[in-house]
Structure 1
Amino acid sequence: MNKEKVAYLVDSGSNVPKEYVEQGNMNVIPLKIIYKDEEFIDNVNITAQDVYDRLQDEIPTTSLPSGEVISEIFKKMQDEGFKKVICVTISSGLSGTNNMVRVISENFSDMDILTIDSKNIGIGSGLIAVQAYKYVEAGLDWNTIKTKLEEDVSRSKIFFHVPTLEYLQKGGRIGLVASILGNMLNLKPIITCNEDGVYDTVAKIRGNKKSVQKAIDLAVDFAGNAKNYNLAIAYGGKTALAQVEEIRSVLKEKLPLAEAIFEGEVSPALGVHTGPGLIGIGIIITDS
């Protein structure tokens, strides 16, 4: 039960597990997928597979929704009687969503609005939103929730395996030289977000299978001696989905104390920049 009558606002790039969006009545800010002749709303009228199927013809761009869209969501929460709002967004180092939410929230001074810059992307950000919901349902006081969520930013991580550097390079996410060299040597990068919330290559492994295993190993290292944590497997497209069952089995063996292992496809907006075949291993340490 929602003790404090807290509303939630997340962006579609955070890939919050569907069950938490629904049971938490979370409001989702939809990012946009823009082609030359048309545009779509992230995860509303386009899927990640749709994006992949069209990549040979056109690589779209992504953008924020208008400020008016975000204002309307805040107004809706206000009209529903909410006095407290928790906003969790993908990293401000990768998107302007967080800053836009902060600026617009100043127009709703009658609500206590907490905006968390996850310094992360995809389910790495979504796991923080899950924790926000759990803290409220556990009846924690507002100040404690604020403190714990700020701590959770450094306690969550996602490690992405991508089978090609092509889309990251075309989207300006990594340098051209690194892209050419990596593709020539069949090196598969493991990408995470650093402490500033920007993409950082933490490893380059030859071959897809070894690269996925390295992403798992990095999550294990991140867990360290923690006794409580949640895990997530993010995938991009049909080929990646086929690997999920085996990855889940390995995670259960290597990280047996996981309270939950969430699974889900990355948002179309993230798929634009990474291409098909992505595997992401997310983890958040939940020790109290």
Structure 2
Amino acid sequence: MGKVKIVTDSTADIPAELLQKYQITVIPLKVMIENETYQDGVNLTPEAFYNKLDMMNSVPATSQPTPFEFETMYQRIREKAGEEISILSIHLSSAMSGTIQSAVLAAEAVKEEVSVEVVDSLKASYAVGILVVEAAKLAAQGAGIEGCRKKLEERKEETSVYFLVDTLEYLQKNGRIGRASALIGSLLKMKPVLSLNRDGEVYPYRKARGKKKAVAVIQEALEHQYGTRPVHIGVSHAQAEESGQELLEAAEAVLNSRSSTLTKIGSVIGSHTGRGTVSVAVTPAE
């Protein structure tokens, strides 16, 4: 069967220490700012991006890696391994990006050299990352490609994500607000708790009046879904570390947490959500 290597993209917002620990390979998406193209997380840090965002009059454009870039990465991983391997390539929701399509085309192109399984996470930011890390743990324990893929598909169904934005402007302008679009007018007067549906699209989970009540709505939803079941918790934030820490502590207060991660939202996801966004992702730990 050979070993399993894990690939994801930069929108998974996985902290560097976890990438290194579990040997996860990341392919960057791109951000276009004032005729300059940057690679998410490579030559554009979250801090630098949000500083640029504050000075822009328009919303940044983003783009997925090309099939050729994926091909090159898959081949490099195979060559570096020096042995028979399989690649599990896990990416941002296809409802938000063409990244999956590029990965699928590349997997077909290199199938004679290396076996690549492409998975649509139907998630974004660390909701992708938390799934990737769990898959990487299995691979590190020696699980084969079928075992990793099976567990990943199970975890996709059991992983929840809720997030709060300071403004719906970026989601609206980028067309990423999905089925929530009809409610923009009413939501602007509230603090919407947003989530992702089974198709990987943004939708309004519930409206709340103010941040404190919005966090309470998230706590109630998480406690109802997971109860005392052991879980992993991940919170990502867009230049809002204090709010991110508060959301993490709120989730830990009602859940049986086996591990928790606080990470930064990078430039691609940040282009669609804006500064101040906080998101919590939860997946079972058993």
Q: TM-score, normalised on structure 1?
A: 0.89
Q: Give the AA of the match of 2:215.
A: V
Instruction: Determine whether 1:251 maps to 2:237.
Output: no
**Correspondence 1:205-284 to 2 at 5 A:** 205-225=208-228, 227-237=229-239, 240-255=240-255, 257-284=256-283
Calculate percent identity across the aligned residue pairs. 26
Contact 1:235/1:277 (8 A) holds in 2 = yes
Q: Deviations over 1:108-144 (max 9, x none)?
A: 2232222211111111111111111111222334322
Contact 1:189/1:205 (8 A) holds in 2 = yes
Alpha-carbon separation, structure 1, partners of 2:216 and 2:166: 13
Contact 2:207/2:214 (8 A) holds in 1 = yes
Measured after TM superposition, the shift of residue 173 of structure 1 is: 2.4
Q: Give the AA of the match of 1:61.
A: A
For the aligned residues, what is the CA RMSD? 2.0
Contact 2:234/2:280 (8 A) holds in 1 = yes
- SS of the aligned residue for 2:109 comes to coil
Contact 1:235/1:241 (8 A) holds in 2 = yes
Alpha-carbon separation, structure 2, partners of 1:64 and 1:141: 28
Instruction: Determine whether 1:42 maps to 2:45.
Output: no
Measured after TM superposition, the shift of residue 215 of structure 1 is: 2.6
Measured after TM superposition, the shift of residue 259 of structure 1 is: 1.2
> After TM superposition, what 4+ stretches of structure 1 lie above 6 angstroms from structure 2?
none
- SS of the aligned residue for 1:86 comes to strand
Q: Give the AA of the match of 2:138.
A: Y
**Correspondence 1:80-119 to 2 at 5 A:** 80=80, 81=82, 82-109=84-111, 110-119=113-122
**Correspondence 1:1-288 to 2 at 5 A:** 4-55=2-53, 56-57=55-56, 58-80=58-80, 81=82, 82-109=84-111, 110-174=113-177, 178-183=183-188, 185=189, 187-225=190-228, 227-237=229-239, 240-255=240-255, 257-287=256-286
Alpha-carbon separation, structure 1, partners of 2:183 and 2:118: 35
Alpha-carbon separation, structure 1, partners of 2:204 and 2:230: 27
Alpha-carbon separation, structure 2, partners of 1:114 and 1:176: 33
Measured after TM superposition, the shift of residue 190 of structure 1 is: 1.6
Distance 1:177 1:115, change over 3 A: closer
> How many positions carry a matched residue from both structures?
279
Alpha-carbon separation, structure 2, partners of 1:197 and 1:145: 21
Distance 1:182 1:248, change over 3 A: closer
Q: Deviations over 1:65-109 (max 9, x none)?
A: 222221110110121235211111011111111121111111222
Alpha-carbon separation, structure 2, partners of 1:177 and 1:192: 15
Contact 1:194/1:200 (8 A) holds in 2 = yes
Contact 1:159/1:219 (8 A) holds in 2 = no
